[in-house]
Structures are given as C-alpha cells and as structure tokens.
C-alpha cells in the first residue's frame, strides 16, 4: 500500500503547554519557544523524513515519525499574543472558528492548543459555531509545560495530531490523558491532576493505551450532503447563576436585569429550588415574561434535571427550560449561539430543547452490568480510519 499523506493545521492559542517560568518562578507564555522545542523533539518531528519531503521548517511545518505508511504533516500557527485561557471569550472563539474556516479545504484535520481553565467552554462553543463539520477538530493542552522533564504535554499533543490526521471523526473533540471526549460534553474536573477532564454524561469517543480504541457507536455520523458553515455571531449577554440557600431576591433580580438575555440556572439535585420562596419565583417569572431565556441544569457533576419533585415542577411552570444533562459550559455557549440568531423567543426555546450537536441526550440512559452508560440516541460511525 502506498503512503497516505495527511495534513493537520495546529492553532497554538496559548496555555500552560507552551509556558516557561520567568525570573519570579511564575509560568508565562514565551513567543516562538514552543515551536522551536517541538522542532527539536524527535518524537514530534523527524528531520530526516522532513528533508525527503521538503518540509518547510521556516513555515513551522513539521512531520511525525514512525507511523508506517501514514505521513502526518502538520503546520503550527502561533497566535500573537499567546493567550492564557482565562483571558478568552467570544472574540477569541470567533478567531479560532474563522481560522478553521479559512483553512478548511487545505487540511484534513485541526488541533487547537489551548489553556485548560476555559478549554471546555471553547470546545463547546466551537461545536455550535462549526455547523456540518466533516473533519476532526481536536482541542488539547497540558497541566505541565512541554519544557518540564515530567510533562503530559507531548503525549496529549502527539495523540491529538494522530486523531486529527488519521481518523474520520467529524466532531469538535477534547483529547486529554488518554481519552478523546466530545467537546460539548466535556468539563474540567481537576486543577492539579493530569486527568483533568471528564465527560460525565457521555461515553468517551476513544481511549488510548497500547492500542487506540475507537467507540464508533458514540461518534457522530458524517453527513457529506450538508455544506460546512461557520457561525460567528454570538451573544455576550448570557450568564451563569448557581442557586444557594441564602440567595436574596434582590441579588437574583440584579443579576437578571438588562442587558441579560439568557442565563444558565444551576439548581439543586434533579433540578430543584426553594419552592416556598415566592419572592424568588416572582423574580424568575418576571424575567421569563420579559423574554429572558432561562435554562435549568443541575449543580451535580453527573446526571440530569427532571420534574420528579414539586420544587422542580415549580420552575417548569414558570417557563424555565430543562437543560437535561448538558454541562454548564455547553449550556452557556449554546445560549450565546442561539441568542445571536434573529428568531422569536419560541424558536429559541425550541432550539435550546433540541439536541443540535450531540450536547444533549434525547433518550433515557440504559445501564449495563459494568455501569457503562449507553444512550439510544448514539449513532454508529461506519467510517474507516487510516490506521
């Protein structure tokens, strides 16, 4: 079999993965340092093969070694300035989406190197912004910089390149600590563990060990009949509010004042708030009547909201929308995406209730003996990989 050449564009946005310590012992981004480090790392770039294929190092073009007949040629586009992920919001999401759009026909896949703190927000936002995506977009980073002797950076980056270059996964994904997760099902669960991300209500799309195990049933089907498009209109008038026992109606009212257009309301357990607090219910009702889109999700790390209890039913009766088992990151970015659309309140409510990009389970989970979750809404991907 002949060689298979795959091209991957790497958008190096910033984050811990490429940071170095300054004179005060504090990590900070250093322009061009990450790219130069990767060029000199034999596992990430094969200089001998690069000469054979006339790889242009001056254009930050590199090639992975030891992939048999598969050649992954990747180009790193470094952002200036490099960004800590805590400094990212809608403007930066739009920039990433536009870079993918501009280069979409030139590359087989994309990797975004990103800080971990808001990585789940970016992956969720991009999943909605990139409609009818036919190619893999893998977002990754690290908990320890690549310059440290002990680091998770190289493995996360290398595996992301392989998934982006060799597998037909038409989704925005997060790769971290040997797991490939659906981007809009991902949340950060640890600030100091290398296994920093989880997908609490959806099965990993793939796991890596000695072998790469793809779970095809959970991967979105590729729809080649629909044209890829990018949505860059996002509303910034969205917020996230966690309920707590001592919340005052004045605090809630202040939070819901214009220009707010939509909020993610994180309630207790299966979607409950204090049903005997008529002052709070009145404030929420006033906001709904004004056209504020309020989505109710659970504060729990796993599970879904429901109307099992009277306290949860009270929210539904106010016109507050159930967010099912969506993550807070997916709910917020979905709101930002939908509220930017020129449509009616009723249409926005319908869209929020709909499963647009696999962010929301549309069927009841079935539990197996090994406690693995499988959703009837999952679809089996029949597309072959180059491995």
Q: Is residue 384 part of a domain?
A: no
Residue 247 and residue 190 share a domain: no
Number of domains observed in the structure of the chain:
2
Query: What domain range is 323 assigned to?
Result: 238-339
Tokens 């440290």 found at: 148
11 φ, ψ (degrees, to nearest 5): -100, 105
Select from 320, 335, 297 the least CA-distant residue to 201: 297
The answer to the question of residue 348 being in a domain is: no
Domain boundary residue among 230, 246, 270? 230
Nearest-10 Cα torsion for 181, 182, 183, 189: -40
In a domain, 215, yes or no: yes
Q: What is the DSSP code (8-state) at residue 346? A: H
Last residue of a domain, one of 178, 207, 230: 230
**Residue 95 tokens, joined:** 């920039």
Whether residue 207 is found in the same domain as residue 266:
no
Determine how many CB atoms are found less than 10 A away from the CB of residue 189: 14
**Cα–Cα distance measured from residue 367 to residue 290, given in angstroms and rounded to the nearest whole number:** 41
To the query of whether residue 16 is one of the catalytic residues in this protein, the response is yes
Question: Among residues 230, 261, 285, which one ends one of the domains?
Answer: 230
Considering the domain architecture, whether residues 172 and 315 belong to the same structural domain is answered as: no
| Per-position pLDDT tens, the chain of length 387 | 467 889 999 999 999 999 998 888 888 889 999 999 999 998 899 888 888 888 888 889 999 987 777 889 999 999 999 998 989 999 999 999 999 999 999 999 999 999 999 999 999 999 999 999 999 999 999 999 999 989 999 999 999 999 999 999 999 999 999 999 999 999 999 999 998 999 999 999 999 998 999 999 999 987 778 899 999 999 999 999 999 999 999 999 999 999 999 999 999 988 888 878 899 999 999 999 999 999 999 999 898 988 666 666 778 889 999 999 999 999 999 999 999 999 999 999 999 999 999 999 974 333 223 333 333 333 333 333 343
Tell me if 122 is assigned to some domain. Answer: yes
Q: What is the pLDDT of residue 224?
A: 77
Domain assignment present for residue 128? The answer is yes
297 neighbors 305 (Cβ within 8 angstroms): yes
Are residue 97 and residue 148 in the same domain, yes or no?
yes
Counting Cβ atoms within 10 Å, is residue 336 exposed (0-12), middle (13-18) or buried (19+)?
buried
Q: Are residues 201 and 105 in the same domain?
A: yes
What does the DSSP 8-state code read for residue 272? B
């Amino acid at each position: 079999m002949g060689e298979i050449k795959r091209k991957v564009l790497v958008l190096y946005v910033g984050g811990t993965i490429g940071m170095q310590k300054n004179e005060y012992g504090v990590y900070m981004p250093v322009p061009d340092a990450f790219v130069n480090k990767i060029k000199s790392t034999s596992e990430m770039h094969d200089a001998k093969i690069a000469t054979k294929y006339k790889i242009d190092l001056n254009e930050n073009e590199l090639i992975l070694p030891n992939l048999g007949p598969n050649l992954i040629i990747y180009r790193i586009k470094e952002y200036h300035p490099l960004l800590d992920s805590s400094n990212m919001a809608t403007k930066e999401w739009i920039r990433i989406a536009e870079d993918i759009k501009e280069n979409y026909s030139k590359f087989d896949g994309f990797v975004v190197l990103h800080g971990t703190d808001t990585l789940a927000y970016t992956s969720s936002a991009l999943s909605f912004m990139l409609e009818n995506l036919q190619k893999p977009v893998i977002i990754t980073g690290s908990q320890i910089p690549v310059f440290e002797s002990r680091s998770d950076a190289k493995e996360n980056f290398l595996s992301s390149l392989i998934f982006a270059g060799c597998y037909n996964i038409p989704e925005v994904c997060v790769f971290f600590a040997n797991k490939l997760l659906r981007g809009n099902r991902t949340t950060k669960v640890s600030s100091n563990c290398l296994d920093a991300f989880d997908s609490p209500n959806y099965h990993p799309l793939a796991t890596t060990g000695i072998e790469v195990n793809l779970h095809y049933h959970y991967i979105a089907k590729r729809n080649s009949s629909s044209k890829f498009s990018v949505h860059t209109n996002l509303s910034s008038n969205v917020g996230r509010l966690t309920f707590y026992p001592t919340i005052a109606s004045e605090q809630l009212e202040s939070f819901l004042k214009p220009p707010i257009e939509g909020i993610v309301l994180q309630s207790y357990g299966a979607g409950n708030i204090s049903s005997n607090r008529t002052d709070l219910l009145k404030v929420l009702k006033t906001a709904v009547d004004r056209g504020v889109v309020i989505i109710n999700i659970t504060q729990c790390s796993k599970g879904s909201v429901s109307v099992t209890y009277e306290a949860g039913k009270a929210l539904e009766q106010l016109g507050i929308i159930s967010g099912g088992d969506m993550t807070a990151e997916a709910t917020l970015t979905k709101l930002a995406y939908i509220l930017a659309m020129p449509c009616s309140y009723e249409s926005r409510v319908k869209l929020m209730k709909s499963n647009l990009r696999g962010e929301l389970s549309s069927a009841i989970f079935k539990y197996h003996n090994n406690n693995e979750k499988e959703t009837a809404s999952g679809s089996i991907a029949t597309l072959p990989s180059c491995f």
